[in-house]
Amino acid sequence: MAARKLFLLSGDGIGPEAMAEVKKIIAAMNKTGAGFETEEGLVGGCAYDAHGKAISETDMEKALAADAVLFGAVGGPKWDSVPYEVRPEAGLLRLRKDLALFANLRPAICYPALADSSSLKKDIIEGLDILIVRELTGGVYFGEPKEIIDLGNGQKRGIDTQVYDTFEIERISGVAFELARTRKNHVTSMEKRNVMKSGVLWNEVVTQTHKAKYSDVKLDHMLADAGGMQLVRWPKQFDVIVTDNLFGDMLSDVAAMLTGSLGMLPSASLGAPDAKTGKRKALYEPVHGSAPDIAGQGIANPIAMIASFAMCLRYSFGMVAEADSLEAAIAAVLDDGLRTRDIMSAGMQEVGTTAMGDAILAKFLA
C-alpha cells in the first residue's frame, strides 16, 4: 500500500495544542499499519516570523504534493500590524486558492450530550445535523479589483469585488446535491438575488443544475439574510445549505454556535477529483480560529481538530469505519461528562486539552 501523505500545518495560537492531540491519534493508527507519513510546515504568524511570508514556497510545494493537509489555526494580536499581503490569514487563503479547494464542507452536528450548552433552547437544536457547503475559492474573497484607492480629495475608497462565473456555481451546487443524496436529500441555496447580480446568477445556475442532473433532490432557495434568521429560529428545517464564500463564512459561524461551541466544528475543503487518479486535493481544519486569549494554557478544546481528522479519514482515504469510530469516540467521551472549559456545564468534569485528547484516543482504540 502506498503511504498516506499528510502535511501538518498547525499554525498559531491554539492550533499546535489541538494538532498535538491529532498527532497522538495518527501515531496510534500507524502502530496498526495505517501507514500515515507526516511532515510539518509553518503557516500564518509563525511562518511570517520565520520567513516574512504567511507560507513559504517550500511549504506550498509540500501542501500540493500531500494527499491531505491538516490545518490548525492562524493569526493573533502579535501580527495585527504586519502588511496586509503577508498577514497570517493570507497563508490559508493561498492554500485554498492554489490547491483549488472550492468546496468547503462544514457539518454542524449537535452531540446529544451538548444539547444544553447551546444558547438556544434544547428542543431547537437536539438532534441537529446540517451541512453547510460553502464555495471557497471565489466571490468577494478573491474578486478583483480589491484595493483601497485615494480619491485625492481627502477621501479614500475601499473596493472588494463579488464575482461568480457559471462553472463555479455549477460545481459547488453539484457537490451539495451529491452530498444531499447521501443524507436527507434536501438542498437550500442561499444568496441575495434581491440586491446582487451575482445572486441572480447564483440562483439561476443552481436551478438549472438541479433541473439538469439532480431533480430527485428537494431544492429550496432562500435569501441569505432570511437564511441566517431561519438558522437560529428552526435549524432542523435544513439538511444541506449551499452558499457563496462570504455568506458561507458568516452562516457557518452561526451554525457552529447552534451546536454549543465554536470549538466543536470541523471542516473539509476539497478540490475537484483528478481526472486520472480520482483523488481530490484536500485540507482539513477546525472552524474555530487561533483563540490567542487562551493559547498556551492547555485548556483549548481539541474536538474540532480531531473531528477534522475524522473527515480526513472519510474523504481523503475512504477510511469510513475509522472515521465513524473516531466520531463515536468523541460522542462517547462527551456522554461520560468530560468537558473542556468552552463547553463546561454544571455537574460535568472539566478537563484540559491533553486529557480530552487522551480520553478520545482511549475510546477510539477500545
Residues identified as active-site: 141, 192, 225, 249, 253
Cβ nearer to ligand IPM, comparing 73 with 110: 73
* Residue of the chain from 25, 92, 120, 326 that contacts ligand IPM (CB under 6 A): 92
Do you know the residue count of the chain?
366
Helical (H) or strand (E) element with 26: helix 15-31
Q: What angle do CA 161, 163, 169 make, to 5 degrees?
A: 155
- Tell me how far, at minimum, the Cβ of 283 lies from ligand IPM, in Å: 10
- Tell me how far, at minimum, the Cβ of 92 lies from ligand IPM, in Å: 5
Using the rule CB under 6 A, is 55 a contact of ligand IPM?
A: no
Helices (H), 218-319: 224-233, 245-258, 303-317
Q: Which partner from the list Mg ion, ligand IPM, none does 89 bind, CB cut-off 5 to 8 Å by kind?
A: ligand IPM
Cβ nearer to ligand IPM, comparing 200 with 246: 246
- Tell me how far, at minimum, the Cβ of 332 lies from ligand IPM, in Å: 28
292 assigned ligand-binding residue: yes
88 assigned ligand-binding residue: yes
- Tell me how far, at minimum, the Cβ of 252 lies from Mg ion, in Å: 6
* Residue of the chain from 89, 170, 350, 358 that contacts ligand IPM (CB under 6 A): 89
* Residue of the chain from 59, 135, 191, 249 that contacts ligand IPM (CB under 6 A): 249
Please give the residues from 6 up to 45 whose contact with ligand IPM meets the rule CB under 6 A.
none
- Write out the residues near Mg ion by the rule CB under 5 A: 249
271 assigned ligand-binding residue: no
- Tell me how far, at minimum, the Cβ of 357 lies from ligand IPM, in Å: 22
Which residue has its beta carbon closest to Mg ion?
A: 249
Count of helix runs (H) and strand runs (E) in the chain:
12, 14
In sequence order, what are the residues at sequence separation of 6 or more whose Cβ sits closer than 8 angstroms to the Cβ of residue 308? 22, 70, 71, 266, 267, 268, 284, 285, 286
Give SS3 for 103.
strand
Q: Which partner from the list Mg ion, ligand IPM, none does 92 bind, CB cut-off 5 to 8 Å by kind?
A: ligand IPM
Q: What distance in Å separates the CA atoms of residue 79 and residue 87, rounded to the nearest whole number?
A: 7
76 assigned ligand-binding residue: yes
Read off φ and ψ for residue 149, nearest 5 degrees.
-110, 150
CA dist list (Å): 337 to 15, 309, 358, 361, 366: 24, 22, 14, 16, 18
Which residue has its beta carbon closest to ligand IPM?
A: 89
- Are 265 and 249 in contact, with CB atoms under 8 Å apart? no
Q: What distance in Å separates the CA atoms of residue 182 and residue 47, rounded to the nearest whole number?
A: 39
Q: What distance in Å separates the CA atoms of residue 341 and residue 350, rounded to the nearest whole number?
A: 6
Q: Which residues are annotated as a binding site for Mg(2+)?
A: 225, 249, 253
In the complex, the residues that contact ligand IPM under the rule CB under 6 A are 89, 92, 249, 287
Q: Which residues are annotated as a binding site for substrate?
A: 96, 106, 134, 225
Q: Which residues are annotated as a binding site?
A: 76-89, 96, 106, 134, 225, 249, 253, 289-301
